[in-house]
Each structure stands twice: as C-alpha cells, then as structure tokens.
Structure 1
Amino acid sequence: MIRNKKYIYLLAFVAMVFVGCTEEYLETAPTDSISESTALSNEDNMYLVVNGLHRMMYGQNQLTGGESSRSGESHFIPMFDAVGGNIIHSSPGNGWMRSDLQWISHVNPNATTNFNLWFQRYHFIEVSNAIINRVSGGNFIETAKLNNVVGQAYAYRAWSYWRLVTTFSKGYLVGDPSTDPGVPLILNEGAPYEGAPRGTVEDVYTQIYTDIDMAINHLKNASAPEDKSHISLNAAYGIKARIALSKGDWKVAADNAALARSGYPLLDESGWMSGFNTVDLSEVIWGAQVIDTESNFFQSYFYYVAFSFNGSQNRSNPKLISKELYDRIPATDYRNKAWLPLAPNTNPAASNDQGGSYETDPNYDNAADFAAAKAAIIAEYGATSAHNTHPYMNVKFQLKNPGSTDPDDVIYMRSSEMVLIEAEAKAMLNDINGAQNALDILGSARDSGFDKTAFSTQTSLMDEIKWQRRVELWGEGFSYHDNIRWDEGLDQSNSGAAQVLYQDGFMQAKPSVNDNWIFKIPQKELDANPFLTEADQN
C-alpha cells in the first residue's frame, strides 16, 4: 500500500501547525518528536488531528510523495467537472487540466491526478482509522467532544471510501457490484502497512454504510461543530444521501437529503449571485473556511473556476457553460445572469477560432461595440484588462476581492443539492407527486415561472432534474459521477466545446459499455501493494 513514510510526524504536524496549540505543548513536544500515542492520547489532541484533515481538504498537499499541484478538493472538484464535461474550457490556456478534459490523465496509471486522489483519500482513511481504533481500544470516557471527534473520523472514512469506489471502480448502478472489483479496504493503522486486496464494490459499500451510520450515531450526541469546515450531523446526513443515491437506495437517499437540508434555507437571488465564495451563505452545509495564510493560491479552487482570479488559467481561458444547457434556461430564471452568452470573444487563441476581434466574433459587427462589451464586463466583475472574455463565460463564481489571488472559501455541500437528491430519489421510486413537490422547492426559488405540473411522468421529471443539477451545481464537481449514475456518455457536439481542444473528451460512450469511465489505479500502488498485481488494474 502506498504510505506516507512520515505518518507519525504528520499526525503531530496537522495537529500543531495547521491549528496551533498551547505554548507549553509546543515546548515539551516539538513537531519532530511527537509520537502517535501522544497525538492520540486524549480527545483534545485528537480534535486537533481532525482539524488537520479539515485543512488538508483544501490546502496545498502536505504529504510526502504527493504533489502540491493537486491540492485536495480545491483541485478535485473542478477536475471532476472537467472530465465530466460540465466545465468547458475556451482555449488551451496554460495547460492546467487540459489532460483531464481530454481524457488523457485519468486513464494513465502514472498520472499525478490519479496518484494524488488515491494517496490523499487513503491518508484520510489512515488517520481516521487511527482515531477510531484508539478510542475503541482505549479507556476513554464518552463526552460530547469525543463523540464529535469519532463521529467526524467515521464520516471522513465513509466519504473517502465512497470517493474512491465511485471513481476507481465501475459504478454501482451500471455494473455488477457483487463481483466488480472495488478498492482495498484498510481498517487498521500503522506498521507494517501491508495493504490489502481489492474487495468487491459491494464489500466497500457495506463498509461505507457501516461507517456513515456510526458517524451519525456519534454526531447525534456530539458537541456543536466549530464551523462549517467540520463535518456536522447535517453534513453526515448529506454524505449518506450521496452514498445512497450512487447505490440506488432511493428511499434512504430521499430521507437523508431531507434531514441534511433542515435548517439551511435556499438562497435568494442576491445570495445566489454573490459569487459562491463564502461558507456563510445560508445554503452551505459543509465547506472549507479558508484561512488566509493557508491558501494554495495558484492551485486553489477559484484559480480554476472564477473569471476574475488574477492567474493565467483564467486570464486566457474563461470557463464556459454548455451552450445547449444554457439556452434552456428560461428568461424568468435568474440563474441566466450567471453566464454571459454575448460576451465578446477577445482571445485570438480561443479554440473555436472566433476569438480576437469583431471580425471573427459573429455576435459583433464593429470594433467599438466589441471593445465596449469587454470593458463593461471587466468593470462589472473586477477583472484586469489582461483578462479575456468569451461567449457563455461563467460569472457564477466571483472573488470577494476580484482581480486578486486572495483565498476564498470552498463549498462542498449545499442544501440545493439535497433538494435535487430528494427529487431524483422520489422520481426513481415513481413517486410523481413527491418528486414534483421536491423539485418545486428549488424550481420556484430560482424561476418565477416554474410549474411543477409540467413534469408529470418519471421520464419528464428525470429530464428536468438532470438539467437542474447541471445548471444549479455547475462547477461544483458533480457531472462526472452524475453521468456514471445516469449511464450517460459525453457528446459535446452542441456545447460550444472545440473538438480540436477536447480530443477524446469530446465524445465518449456511456459508462455501462465503456471502462474508460473508471480511473486507473496508480502504478505506484500496484508496485507497493503485495496483494495487487497488474491483473488488478482497471
């Protein structure tokens, strides 16, 4: 099994450096000598270790052997939408994620993306194992704080295995989970780091369900979360809803989605259009409250998705919504303001060969209007004059300090997603009335002309729910796994994506008949794990 050689050091490092500790503790236990037993000796220390995982969710990779260029969910959220085809790149840019959207990276066992995703998730599992096993095997007195720590550890382990099995194995709903190979189940921690064989997909889901139920049981009797970076009871319900949705446990998904969103009201128009840059938004159930000194700057989430972030990825390559998707947004739906279909195509290197001037952009017929349209966008959204614009460009994501590289929060879970899970699950149960009512919660909040009765069959409901997910959750990392669950391939023919840029990512057959939807296991794992051979490769 690929392991961090400085595991004990890291437990101390995340506990002390990312969160801080008392002067006395720092003086008596320097970071290069803290033992695992000290780091896990009491609930206060374990709480700090869990805080380290919260930071690792978004910060630059701190693991020996990992790459800082793939920094937790800051990278993987937009990466999944690049592979899934929902975030469309307008030009080659500076190369970031080009191999992902071209379907080159995830099918390469030596790719950095695969390695970091696998490596970081198993690190979360290893740290969670250490906490869970230490508490279960020790003489700890149950307290609300200890329940908080253990509940979060179980939730992180469930979430990590779910991320792994849904990415490195065939989708539960499109394969044969009782025989399809899953991922290695590691429930112990520490030397000798022997690894494990691949369990079946069913085996892994069984463990995930056990873990998330344990998390919920502990969090019901836990102290209140410190902030939204922590996994709360609501977030654990939300994780369970996601797990159940991917498995086709429709009632479990619907019930837990409803529990997850309780107390998190949907945004109004001003909130929805404010930039999705803070966990303080009413809808946010779980997200990273980014600490300024721990930002990953040019590996940050907003570097990939926010138009006005002052980095070369955005200046040359504003991200687009699918033209086909956007053109379905009704005039009465305020989300149509989150993308700019008539933005001038100012980049001569734009992949659709229409960039550079009014002479190549079919939306403009004179230089003055072309220049004025760009200037208006730059002024309104706070970008620099060096930023290019493009038709259908995204302004859904905005920096608090536009034109800068300042860090902003990263959102992992919103109540809108939970509403859509509830609607989808009820539609799949053929509960037409229940699905209509759930869908109406979101639809009428976004669109003054929304009419739930227009969707009176399972087919029409699912078509609307799919469209709503792709619009509402654009850029939030769901499209890759959504396509697997729905068994839908990629066809970018009418999206505005350029085939010359997208190459293999322009068109892919559906997941049930196309194993390229399964990420390759890192070659380093096959080399290090004695229980795996080349025959175990996807």
Structure 2
Amino acid sequence: MIRNKKYIFLLAFAAMVFVGCTEEYLETAPTDSISESTALSNEDNMYLVVNGLHRMMYGQNQLTGGESSRSGESHFLPMFDAVGGSIIHSSPGNGWMTSDLKWTSHTNANATTGFNLWFQRYHFIEVANAIINKAAGSNFTETEKLNNVLGQAYAYRAWAYWRLVTTFSKGYLIGNPSTDPGVPILLNEGAPYEGGPRGTVEDVYTQIYSDINTAISYLGKASAPEDKSHISINAAYGIKARVALSKGDWQIAADNAALARNGYPLLDESGWLSGFNTNDLSEVIWGGYVIDTETNYYQSYFYYVAFAFNGSQNRSNPKLISKELYDRIPSTDYRNKGWLPLAPNTNPAASNDLGGSYETDPNYDNEDDFWDAWEAIITEYGATSGHNTHPYMNVKFKQKNPGGIDPDDVIYMRSSEMVLIEAEAKAMLNDVGGAQNALDILGSARDSAFDKTAFTTQAQLMDEIKWQRRVELWGEGFSYHDNIRWDEGLDQTNSGASEVLYQAGFMQDKPSVNDDWIFQIPQDELDANPFLTEADQN
C-alpha cells in the first residue's frame, strides 16, 4: 500500500504518531508524537485515537504524503455529486472541481482526488486495524468505553472498505462480484507495509458485513456516544443499510434503515429550510462537528455548496439543481424553496451564455427588475455584493454566518436517507404496500398533497423514490453511487448544465457497459504495492 511509514493518530487538539523504528523517523519525529504502545496502551488513549478519525472525516488532510487540497468528506461529498451530475456548476468559477465535472479527474490515475480518497480511506483502515488487533492481543477488561472504541473501529473499517469497493470497483449489482476485482483487504498494521492483491468484490463485501456486524455487537453494549460525530449504534445500522442497498440485500437494507432512523424524527419545514449547517438538527444521525480553530475554510464543505460563502468558488459560480429535476417539485412541496428558479443570471461568464444583463436573461425584460431581484436575494441570504446569482441556484445550504468563511458542520447521515433506503428496498422486494408506507413517511412530511396511492407498481415506486432521493439528498454526495446502483448514465441535455463546460461529463453511458464510472487506482499505489501491476488498473 501507499505508505509514508507513519500512522497518524489525530486527536482533538494534537497529533499522536506511532511508527516503525526507523532511523529516518527518529530524526524527524515531531515533539508531540508518542509511541504506538502508548497510544494504544489503554481504553482512554484508544478513545482519543478514535477522536482523531472523527476529525479526519471532515478535515483538511493531515497525513504526510497526502494532499491537503482535496481531502475529507468536506471535499468528497460535493465531488461525488459533481461526478454524478447532481450539483451543476453555473460557470467555471475558480476551477475547483471542473476536472470532476469533465470526468478527467477520476479517470486519471495521477489525479489528486483519487489518490487522497484511496490514501485516506486506507488510513482509516490502518488505524482501525491497530485498535482491533491491540485489543485482541491484550488483557483489557471489558467496559462500556472499550466496547465503544472497538465498535467504532470496526464500523470505520467497514465504512472505509465500502467507500473503496463502491468507488474503485464495478458496482455489485451491475457486475460479477465473485470475479470482479475489488480492493486489497488488509487486516494487519505496521511495517513492512507490503500491501496486498485485489480481493474480489464479493470478498470485500464479506469483510464489510463481518466488520459492521461486529461493530453493532460492540456498540450495543457501549456507552452513549459523546456527540453525533461519533459512530453510534444508529449510525452503524445506517452504514449496514447502505452496504446492503448497494449489494441488493433488500430485506437487510430495509430492516437496518428502520433501526437507524429510530429516535431521529424528520425535519419540519422550518428545520429543512434552516440551511443544513448543524448536526443538532433532529434527523442528523451522524455528522462532523467542525472545530473552528482547526478547519480548512476554503476547502470546507460549505465552500463548495453554500451560495453565500465568501469564496471565489461561489461568488462567480452558484451551484444549480437540474432544471428537469426541480420542475417536478409540486407547489405544495416546501422543498421548492431550496432553489431559486427565477434568480437573475448576473454573471457575464455564466456557461449558458445568458448571463450579465436583463437583455440576455429570458426571465427579465428590464434592468430595474433584474437588479432588484439580485439585490433581494443578496439581502435575504446574506451574500456579498460580489456574489452572482443564476436561475435554479441552490439556497438549500445556508451558513450560520452568511457572507463569511466560518466553518459549519458536515452532515454524513440523515434519517430521511434511511426512509428512502427502506422504501427502495421494499420496492425492490415488490412489497408495494410496504414501499408506499415507507415513501409516505417522507413524502407527507415534505408535501402537503402527497398521495402514496399514486404509485401502484414497482416501476412507479422506483421512479418516485429516485426523484425523492435526488431532491431530498441534493448536494449530500449520493448521486454518483446512486447512478451506479440504478445503472443509469448521465444526460445533462435538459438540466441546465453547459456541454462546453462539462465536456465528457455531459453525457455518459450507463455504468454496466461503461467502466469509466470506476475510479482509477492511484498510480502511486500500483508503483508501491508489489502485489499489483498495471494489469490491475481499472
């Protein structure tokens, strides 16, 4: 595997490093480092090590050998929606994520995004391995806190392998999992960092199921989580539901989704429209509480997705929902307030070539109305005079301090997703009544006129479920993997995306016949891992 001969255990406020005993390390070790034996010597230290993984989930890369520019779920969530065609960019902006839109990043073995995604996920695995193996080889007394630590370690390992195999391998439901190459399965830690061969997709899923089941067993006997950045038993059920959905284990997906959302009521209208900037929202099951003093500001989640964030990515490039998708939202569904279809197109560099003036924007016929509309949006949503607006722009995501660069929380899992998993799984089981009832939980919460009986067949149910996922979870990082699971390609013809800007990402054939949906394995991994050759590249 790609290694820098260090395992970095990031604590809440300090770095703890344990490494192999090499002369090079001894000469360069930071003064706040501690040995592996100390870091894993007791449950309290292990707990701090796990806290470091919570920080790694959203934070700027802290790993020597990694790249800080594209790292953590703060980057990967909007990146997946850029590749998956959900988040539509209105202009090139400052260039961030344009390679993802164009499909020139994940198809490039030397790209930073794929490297960091691989590098960091294996770091999660490495740290989890160290905790799991240390506990197995020691005479620790079982306590609620130790169960908490081990439960989270197993859950992180399951989550990391699931992220890897669903991104760097062919989708389980559209390939031949018993023979399709997966990702290397590593269960040990420490030198000599030999790496391993690619197990099959089936092998990787077997390991994931084993890990998440063990995690649930430990977390069922664990102390209560400190906050929602920790993996609770509900979050572990949610991870299992996601895994089962991607594998087509429909009943397991439905059952675990129901368990995951228990105790996390859906948002009401005011909650849904409040901006998705805090994990304190009732339906957030798992999310990163961003530490203000340690965040990445211009590489934060809200830098990519929030209209009013005062960064060059947003001022000239408000993010859009697909016109085709938005126009299906009924007037009785309050989610229609999360985007502004009639916002004036004020950017002369807008990729649809209609920006900069009422004379080019078909929604306006005079200058006063055009600029009054812009001013009203700037005022209401707290943007700056340097921010542009655009039709179908997103205001779903709002900062606590709009117009600034302060960090906000990153949400990883909500109960609405779990409702939709339950509905999809039951639809795939052809349990029409069960799917209708599950779908009604979300539909009725969002749309005062929702009628579950309008969907009487599996095909009708799936069409509605797909639409609901694309609207409800817009900007939260699901579209890329959803398209793979549903075996749906990209066609941005009626979305509002620019073919000139999107290039290859404007239209792509479905994943079952198009291996460009699979991320390239980083070239550095092929060069460093003796078990892999160029023939192992996707």
TM range (shorter): over 0.9
What's the offset of the Cα at 1:333?
A: 0.2
Partners of 1:245 and 1:33 lie apart in 2 by 41
The answer to whether the Cα contact below 8 Å between 1:320 and 1:393 also exists between their aligned partners in 2 is yes
What's the offset of the Cα at 1:6?
A: 2.4
Partners of 2:33 and 2:303 lie apart in 1 by 36
Which amino acid is the alignment partner of residue 110 of structure 1?
N
1:478 alignment partner in structure 2: 478
2:64 alignment partner in structure 1: 64
Which amino acid is the alignment partner of residue 459 of structure 1?
A
Partners of 2:496 and 2:33 lie apart in 1 by 55
The answer to whether the Cα contact below 8 Å between 1:83 and 1:100 also exists between their aligned partners in 2 is yes
1:348 alignment partner in structure 2: 348
The 5 Å alignment of 1:449-528 reads 449-528=449-528
2:446 alignment partner in structure 1: 446
Partners of 2:139 and 2:201 lie apart in 1 by 35
2:11 alignment partner in structure 1: 14
The answer to whether the Cα contact below 8 Å between 2:87 and 2:475 also exists between their aligned partners in 1 is yes
**Runs of 4+ with deviation above 6 angstroms:** none
What's the offset of the Cα at 1:33?
A: 4.7
- Asked if 1:110 is matched to 2:110, the reply is yes
Which amino acid is the alignment partner of residue 483 of structure 1?
N
Partners of 1:415 and 1:157 lie apart in 2 by 22
The 5 Å alignment of 1:80-229 reads 80-229=80-229
Partners of 1:350 and 1:18 lie apart in 2 by 43
| SS of structure 1 residue aligned to 2:411 | strand
The answer to whether the Cα contact below 8 Å between 1:61 and 1:67 also exists between their aligned partners in 2 is yes
Q: TM-score, normalised by structure 2?
A: 0.97
The 5 Å alignment of 1:19-58 reads 31-58=31-58
- What does the per-residue CA deviation read over 1:3-45, in whole Å, with 9 as the maximum and x for residues that have no partner? 13222xx23x5376169xxxxxxxxx98455110110000000
The answer to whether the Cα contact below 8 Å between 2:14 and 2:32 also exists between their aligned partners in 1 is no
1:241 alignment partner in structure 2: 241
- What does the per-residue CA deviation read over 1:427-467, in whole Å, with 9 as the maximum and x for residues that have no partner? 00000000000000000000000000000000000000000
**Cα distance change, pair 197–208 in 1 and its aligned pair in 2 (3 A):** same
Report how many residues are paired. 526
What is the aligned-residue RMSD (CA, Å)? 1.1
- Which structure 2 segments of 5+ residues have no match? 17-28
**Cα distance change, pair 494–387 in 1 and its aligned pair in 2 (3 A):** same
What's the offset of the Cα at 1:71?
A: 2.3
Which amino acid is the alignment partner of residue 324 of structure 2?
E
- What does the per-residue CA deviation read over 1:396-454, in whole Å, with 9 as the maximum and x for residues that have no partner? 00000000000100000000000000000000000000000000000000000000000
Partners of 2:31 and 2:520 lie apart in 1 by 36
The answer to whether the Cα contact below 8 Å between 1:71 and 1:300 also exists between their aligned partners in 2 is no
- What does the per-residue CA deviation read over 1:264-304, in whole Å, with 9 as the maximum and x for residues that have no partner? 00000000000000000000000001111111100000000
- What does the per-residue CA deviation read over 1:230-277, in whole Å, with 9 as the maximum and x for residues that have no partner? 000000000000000000000000000000000000000000000000
The answer to whether the Cα contact below 8 Å between 2:295 and 2:407 also exists between their aligned partners in 1 is yes
| SS of structure 2 residue aligned to 1:303 | helix
| SS of structure 2 residue aligned to 1:173 | helix
The answer to whether the Cα contact below 8 Å between 2:183 and 2:204 also exists between their aligned partners in 1 is yes
Which amino acid is the alignment partner of residue 398 of structure 1?
K
| SS of structure 2 residue aligned to 1:199 | strand
Partners of 1:232 and 1:18 lie apart in 2 by 24
The answer to whether the Cα contact below 8 Å between 1:89 and 1:497 also exists between their aligned partners in 2 is yes
The answer to whether the Cα contact below 8 Å between 2:179 and 2:200 also exists between their aligned partners in 1 is yes
What's the offset of the Cα at 1:478?
A: 0.1
Which amino acid is the alignment partner of residue 485 of structure 2?
R
**Cα distance change, pair 31–42 in 1 and its aligned pair in 2 (3 A):** farther
**Cα distance change, pair 33–239 in 1 and its aligned pair in 2 (3 A):** closer
Partners of 1:154 and 1:519 lie apart in 2 by 25
The answer to whether the Cα contact below 8 Å between 2:71 and 2:117 also exists between their aligned partners in 1 is no
Partners of 1:18 and 1:422 lie apart in 2 by 40
1:529 alignment partner in structure 2: 529
The 5 Å alignment of 1:295-314 reads 295-314=295-314
- Asked if 1:370 is matched to 2:370, the reply is yes
The 5 Å alignment of 1:244-255 reads 244-255=244-255
What's the offset of the Cα at 1:497?
A: 0.3
Partners of 2:363 and 2:89 lie apart in 1 by 19
Which amino acid is the alignment partner of residue 14 of structure 1?
L
**Cα distance change, pair 116–272 in 1 and its aligned pair in 2 (3 A):** same
- Which structure 1 segments of 5+ residues have no match? 20-28
The answer to whether the Cα contact below 8 Å between 1:315 and 1:386 also exists between their aligned partners in 2 is yes
- What does the per-residue CA deviation read over 1:118-167, in whole Å, with 9 as the maximum and x for residues that have no partner? 00000000000000000011101000000000000000000000000000
What's the offset of the Cα at 1:90?
A: 0.1
Partners of 2:193 and 2:505 lie apart in 1 by 37
- Asked if 1:423 is matched to 2:461, the reply is no
Which amino acid is the alignment partner of residue 279 of structure 2?
V
Which amino acid is the alignment partner of residue 449 of structure 2?
G
- Percentage identity across paired residues of the two chains: 85
Partners of 1:101 and 1:228 lie apart in 2 by 31
Which amino acid is the alignment partner of residue 472 of structure 1?
E
- Asked if 1:405 is matched to 2:405, the reply is yes
**Cα distance change, pair 330–528 in 1 and its aligned pair in 2 (3 A):** same
Partners of 2:467 and 2:375 lie apart in 1 by 32
The 5 Å alignment of 1:245-324 reads 245-324=245-324
| SS of structure 2 residue aligned to 1:438 | helix
The answer to whether the Cα contact below 8 Å between 1:427 and 1:462 also exists between their aligned partners in 2 is yes
Partners of 2:331 and 2:69 lie apart in 1 by 40
Which amino acid is the alignment partner of residue 17 of structure 1?
A
The answer to whether the Cα contact below 8 Å between 1:5 and 1:64 also exists between their aligned partners in 2 is no
Which amino acid is the alignment partner of residue 264 of structure 1?
Y
Partners of 1:341 and 1:5 lie apart in 2 by 51
Which amino acid is the alignment partner of residue 269 of structure 2?
E
2:433 alignment partner in structure 1: 433
**Cα distance change, pair 69–203 in 1 and its aligned pair in 2 (3 A):** same
Which amino acid is the alignment partner of residue 199 of structure 1?
G
Partners of 2:11 and 2:76 lie apart in 1 by 21
Partners of 1:30 and 1:188 lie apart in 2 by 25
| SS of structure 2 residue aligned to 1:179 | coil
| SS of structure 2 residue aligned to 1:401 | coil
